[in-house]
Amino acid sequence: MVAAALLATLVLAGCSSASQDAGAVAEKPTGGKPAGGKPSQKAGRTAAKGRTVGGSGSACPLPVTFDLAASWKPKAVDVDPDSELGAALGVQGQVTMVCEIDAKPAGNIGYLRVWQGKKSDRSPRQVLEAFIADEDGAVKVTYTETRAGDLAAAEVGYTVRSKLLDELKKERAFAVATPDGPVVIHLGGMDSEEHEAMLPAYELARKSLRLG
């Protein structure tokens, strides 16, 4: 029963991401934007606010709360970190995936994914370093001390090779420490263009974040 539940959730959280993106590739016009998609926007801009996630009664109960960009759709992810499948797809750098926020309803191809770890005395920077150590092929890794709402945070930007498109693409994440353990919020994307287009949603999450 546990294995069946894990398979169902991880098909959405991990495995289906590649198949969904593969379908989106076929729809992507030669101009570089997905059909109905949005042009790239510069980092630092924030998106229009939609719903809030993380609080009691939200789609993803979390130790933090933050605003989502309009039309982005959150869904909780149930991972068994002690199973082989859960460890392979839902655990990275001692944090476990707990929420996946889909950008497709807003016209982009990618996700904000939320990862949570157990209580520890690790700094946000140390949490990110462990997260990146488990990221296969990460290069051009740059760490920055920043703020997430009123909380001290660390941020990392890096590049990986897309297995789907066989090209380099940008990714980004930030981490904060909470009384219930560290939280990492990660932004990927089908390619670097999609990543850039979704940065305002990522910035909205970072700037609006507060303890839940």
Phi-psi region of 169 (alpha: psi -120 to 50; beta: other; left: phi over 0): beta
Average pLDDT of span 38-49: 59
In this model, does residue 6 exceed pLDDT 80?
no
Write the pLDDT tens digit of every residue in 50-102.
Answer: 899 998 889 999 999 999 999 999 999 999 878 888 778 899 999 999 999 99
- Cα-based angle 102, 34, 54 (whole degrees, multiple of 5): 15
Write the pLDDT tens digit of every residue in 10-29.
Answer: 333 333 333 333 333 333 33
- Cα-based angle 6, 9, 12 (whole degrees, multiple of 5): 140
Query: Which pLDDT score is estimated for 10?
Result: 38
pTM: 0.79
Handedness of CA 193, 195, 201, 206 (dihedral sign): negative
Write the pLDDT tens digit of every residue in 121-164.
Answer: 999 999 999 999 999 899 999 999 999 999 999 999 999 998 88
* pLDDT tier for residue 194 given thresholds of 50, 70 and 90: very high
Query: Which pLDDT score is estimated for 116?
Result: 97
Average pLDDT of span 31-38: 37
Average pLDDT of span 163-170: 89
Query: Which pLDDT score is estimated for 87?
Result: 76
Query: Which pLDDT score is estimated for 125?
Result: 98
* pLDDT tier for residue 36 given thresholds of 50, 70 and 90: very low
Classify strands 95-102 and 139-148 as parallel, antiparallel or unpaired.
Answer: unpaired
Element (DSSP H or E) covering residue 10: helix 2-10
Query: Which pLDDT score is estimated for 84?
Result: 82
Q: Which residue has the higher pLDDT, 16 or 108?
A: 108
- Tell me how crowded residue 79 is: count the other CB atoms within 10 A of its CB: 22
In this model, does residue 200 exceed pLDDT 60?
yes
* pLDDT tier for residue 47 given thresholds of 50, 70 and 90: confident
* pLDDT tier for residue 44 given thresholds of 50, 70 and 90: low
